[in-house]
Structure 1
Amino acid sequence: MGTIIKRRRKNGTIAWLAQISVMRQGKVLLRESQTFERRSTAAAWIENREESLARPGALDALKTQPKSKKTPTLSDAIDRYVQESIKQIGRTKTQVLKSIKTFDIADQHCDAITSADIVEFAQEKLNSGVQPQTVSNYLSHLGAVFSIARPAWGFPLNAQAMEDARKVADKLGITGKSRERDRRPTLDELDQLMQHFLDRSRRRPTSIPMHRIIAFAIFSTRRQEEIVRIRWKDLDVEGKRILVRDMKNPGEKIGNDVWCDLQEQALAIIEAMPLIEDEIFPYSTDAISAAFTRACKLLEIEGLHFHDLRHDGVSRLFELGLNIPYVAANSGHRSWTSLKRYTHLRQTGDKYADWTWLAEVTKRDNALKLVRNGQFPRKRRSDRGV
């Protein structure tokens, strides 16, 4: 006989653990278990499994089967995927996969996971308070494990089950596409941020020059993680361009090195930076993100993300009357389709034509003086400017 056990998850939701044990002469021949979202589903699984095992010869077949290695769980597959990925899979993907291991589906054996189990996991994730687009990201990252587990390691994960689950989750509204953000910083908000960080830089000369990084993000249209990776040796001053290594794209990221044009303002900001390390902006994304978020909270600037600076920079180029190929050469968009969201913008002139902060972020005297005085150590990372 099977048993059903009520379990309370870490997030407070209820799950039902269905268990089956088959014994002969005091020895356990078979022990199976699966977790379900509903008690009725757990009861149906027990009934179907017991009916299957009751068929003539079913138990004898199990008894005579040669002993094999333990069937790996989804958690085992995730661990192996992370450990054996030669190419860098990224911090976000690693964190998502680590998070999935805290759900019940991670404890299931690979050969027992069905599309229904994946849909239940997606529903559970949605019930935890995240948006459908976040659930989509979770299934996307998990799908990468499903796609290679069988051919790479012989783990019996059914890639088709993942594809079926994605279709069902999409139809039920459990997953969804990310909404395009239209938030752009106002000149008043930028004035507040720039003044805040300039004051901090004067108080603490070795802190991250966030006022320069903010301006560079706008005029270069670079992402945060790209800004901290660009190096002096990748700067082509005469050609007014920079080599952006491992640029993000929907396909291959690692090794996707792209030359991007630089606006004069972005180049001037680079030339104002001190030559202290191989990177032009030798700081961590964590430090930049923390400083920006903290400043917005302090200044009561709501709903502004650092990535919105890139969106503002791309929008500015279209407002200058530039065409899609020219903008793509600056932004690095491989597909022009991604830039169609900006086609509604009309030529309105340069929002930053009279921006007084340009003179401040392109000044060289302060930075060069600090270098001469030895106030910039060779190694300063996330412990600076946070």
Structure 2
Amino acid sequence: MTTKTLREALDHYREKVSILKKGYKQECYRIQQLGNSILGEKIVREITTVDIATYRDERLQQTNSKTGQQISPATVRLEMSLLSNLFELGRIEWGICDDNPVLKVRKPKMPPGRERRLTSREERLILRYAHNYGNSELYAIVVVALETAMRQGEILNLTWEHINLKTRIAHLPDTKNGTRRDVPLSIKARDALIQLGIVGNGRVFSYTNAGLKTTWRVMLLRLGIEDLHFHDLRHEAISRLFELGTLDMMEVAAISGHKSLSMLKRYTHLKAQRLVKKLEGGKSRGRQVVINHLVPYPASVARTSNIVTIRLLDFEGLTASAATKESAITLAQDQLLRRLMTSIRDAETIPQPDQYLDIVHETDIVMIDPLAAA
């Protein structure tokens, strides 16, 4: 027992410790990686801080065979945490080492948290694609993700017996954090679930994690959307909860399932944005409403032999044509300003910029500012 190699100790750890964890499958990957590394054949008792540091540095230089991207600091930190836990058990319970060298080695510095927000146009493209998709579950999954801030695994593990459509509550008996949670369902989320066809019990969705991951990847490729993970929908949903301005941090945490409020500090800038609006709005609410709508909008540029046509992509039938691009842009600015002011006067709904669904090449897009100087 006292001369076990790290690979042997890892196998024992997997059978006795990892098997009891929710992330058993993911931890098995880490165990396999560590066992096949330069540390695998070393005797546990003889592994030093230098060995751990060498593994850390070499691992950070490697690339992921599936994605082709460099191994992230977060991945190495998780592997080092697993190693540290193994050494602690080996020291205290198994008697295979006298020390925990991992504790004395610096972990890789974590990069800033991911801040990817879903744009209005991306949301409309995704919802339209999902609505027309062969499997109606995809649309419901996207809507529930955006409306409830639930994790992917929590959504896919939903069961009908734990959903109360009358009170609009989804009960999660077993979450990532190991605690139960009740999640409020918005009307949109409830209606998306109802459209699936209600049954008495069983899983709401038939998708597996791998199946949804593949469907998501194919959808983004077809829509031309880059660098958007399914988990980003959770970030988007939490951001929107803060932007409501009616929930405090504890209430948002109760919905999202965050145990540590420090994880929600990344959203504090959204509170600052609300304060700016309050400060400005207090001076002249009517003025602030007008200013909020007078923002640049994207437009496409089309050229024929003698005419340049500017088309405001977020407005139906709003175009301007002239002999030169500069003249067409000036006309488009005038028309955009007139349309915006008329809509404000008549209390009509004004679209937000960049919600258009047309496929337009980036090189053919210009921004039309209604307040730009002539």
Q: Answer whether TM exceeds 0.5 for this pair.
A: yes
Query: For 1:162, which of 102, 122, 137 is the aligned residue?
Result: 102
What is the match of residue 243 of structure 2?
A: 319
1:208–1:283 CA contact under 8 A, matched in 2: no
Say yes or no: does 1:218 pair with 2:218: no
Query: For 1:292, which of 216, 221, 227 is the aligned residue?
Result: 216
- 1:209 counterpart letter in structure 2: E
Query: For 1:114, which of 30, 48, 66 is the aligned residue?
Result: 48
- What SS class does the counterpart of residue 104 from structure 1 fall into? coil
Runs of 4+ in 1 over 6 A off after TM superposition: none
Aligned residues: 266
Higher mean C-alpha deviation, range 312-321 or range 192-201: 192-201
Q: CA deviation at 1:275?
A: 4.1
**How many angstroms apart in 1 are the aligned matches of 2:148 and 2:22?**
26
**How many angstroms apart in 2 are the aligned matches of 1:354 and 1:222?**
31
Query: For 1:241, which of 160, 166, 169 is the aligned residue?
Result: 169
**How many angstroms apart in 1 are the aligned matches of 2:139 and 2:98?**
49
- 1:81 counterpart letter in structure 2: Y
What is the match of residue 310 of structure 1?
A: 234
**How many angstroms apart in 2 are the aligned matches of 1:335 and 1:239?**
28
Provide structure 1 residue ranges, at least 5 long, that are not aligned to the other structure.
1-68, 202-206, 356-386
Q: CA deviation at 1:257?
A: 1.8
What is the match of residue 89 of structure 2?
A: 148
Q: CA deviation at 1:311?
A: 0.7
**How many angstroms apart in 2 are the aligned matches of 1:297 and 1:262?**
30
Superposed counterparts of 1:60-209, under 5 Å: 71-85=3-17, 86-90=19-23, 91-128=25-62, 129-156=70-97, 158-159=99-100, 161-165=101-105, 169-170=106-107, 175-201=108-134, 207=135, 209=137
- What SS class does the counterpart of residue 179 from structure 1 fall into? coil
What is the match of residue 184 of structure 2?
A: 261
Q: CA deviation at 1:248?
A: 2.4
CA root-mean-square deviation:
2.5
Over 3 Å counting, the alpha-carbon distance change for 1:81 and 1:272 in structure 2 is same
**How many angstroms apart in 1 are the aligned matches of 2:194 and 2:136?**
16
Percent sequence identity is: 28
- 1:101 counterpart letter in structure 2: G
**How many angstroms apart in 2 are the aligned matches of 1:121 and 1:332?**
34
2:91–2:97 CA contact under 8 A, matched in 1: yes
- What SS class does the counterpart of residue 212 from structure 1 fall into? helix
**How many angstroms apart in 2 are the aligned matches of 1:178 and 1:262?**
33
Q: CA deviation at 1:238?
A: 4.1
What is the match of residue 225 of structure 2?
A: 301
Q: CA deviation at 1:176?
A: 1.4
1:226–1:245 CA contact under 8 A, matched in 2: no
